Amino acid sequence: MSGPRTSDQTNEPAGRRRYTPLLATHDLAVSIGGKAVVRGLNLALHPGDRLAILGRNGVGKTTLLHTLAGLRAPDSGEVMLSGQTYAALGPRRAAQLRGLLPQHQGDAFAASVLETVLIGRHPHLSRWDWESTADEHLARAALAAVGLAELAARSIHTLSGGERQRVALATLLVQQPQVYLLDEPLAHLDLNHQIAVLELVSRRVREEAAALVMVLHDINLAAHFSDQALLLHGEGEHELGASAAVLDAARLSRLYGHPLREIRDETRRWFVPEMPK
């Protein structure tokens, strides 16, 4: 079926429906404070899939992401990880399968950068286990991947906002989930680090046969680094489909309440806001 998919359709291609998705929702309804975020969301993500969630401030993007992460119950419908509900999986197995990068990082206690990144290994350890040498190698490799290898011994409290955000990403990489859930992963990052982070996560998703869901504010980065897009219009209305189909000037202008214009060259496209004369 061509075009964007709405509440009564699934984004799962026909040739893949015999496989169990890494992340799926069935007729999902989510609200917060009496305000509907989505109604009837049917989503299916397989290995290598990258989904961008877009919408205005306050529309419920974080609430939806937390529901997908199993941190809050939906109003109705189901969220499934590899074919099982969160209740069936239990907290530890769920933490092995999905990892969440939240908007804000809290560091109540002093710790080194390396110790902070090693927290990502906790779902894979038994109750009384300590991190192994192999775990430390994974943590140091993750720090190197985000360009912070030289800060391993630094106190987490001495980092800039951008450095702390990259440490949070390294912690998630060390967790090695099958489903990555990123809430505004580009916060506090310079442009070069924004591109590097999205390239790194996209590569990991491809190499590890994982799936990615990310809340983004930059439309052009979403268009370039996602295969599917979910537009949250408010009052429970949403549009879901291939990014190439869903991300167009008309829909995005309606989504953000401001006219946007699409610019193309031979291979790429960009969306720019119309400016007053």
pLDDT at residue 129 above 90? Answer: no
Report all structural domains of the chain as residue ranges with CATH numbers, in order of start: 1-82+180-185+211-277 (3.40.50.300)
| pLDDT tens by residue, 7-28 | 444 555 555 556 899 999 999 9
Q: How far is CA 219 from CA 54, 94, 229, 230, 234, in A?
A: 8, 30, 10, 12, 18
Pairing of strands 260-264, 269-273: antiparallel
Q: Give dist(CA 237, CA 235) in Å, integer.
A: 6
Model confidence band, residue 1 (pLDDT cutoffs 50, 70, 90): very low
Cα–Cα–Cα angle for 184, 240, 204, nearest 5°? 50
Output the average pLDDT for the chain: 92
Task: Supply the pLDDT for residue 18.
Answer: 64
Count of all residues that appear for the chain in the document: 277
| pLDDT tens by residue, 51-98 | 999 999 999 999 999 999 999 999 999 999 999 999 999 999 999 999
Q: Which residue has the tokens 């309440």?
A: 257
Task: Supply the pLDDT for residue 17.
Answer: 54
| pLDDT tens by residue, 163-211 | 999 999 999 999 999 999 999 999 999 999 999 999 999 999 999 999 9
Cα–Cα–Cα angle for 224, 209, 13, nearest 5°? 70
Task: Supply the pLDDT for residue 108.
Answer: 73
Name the pTM for this structure. Answer: 0.91
Model confidence band, residue 246 (pLDDT cutoffs 50, 70, 90): very high
Task: Provide the sign of the torsion angle of the four alpha carbons 156, 130, 146, 96, taken in this order.
Answer: negative
Task: Supply the pLDDT for residue 128.
Answer: 77
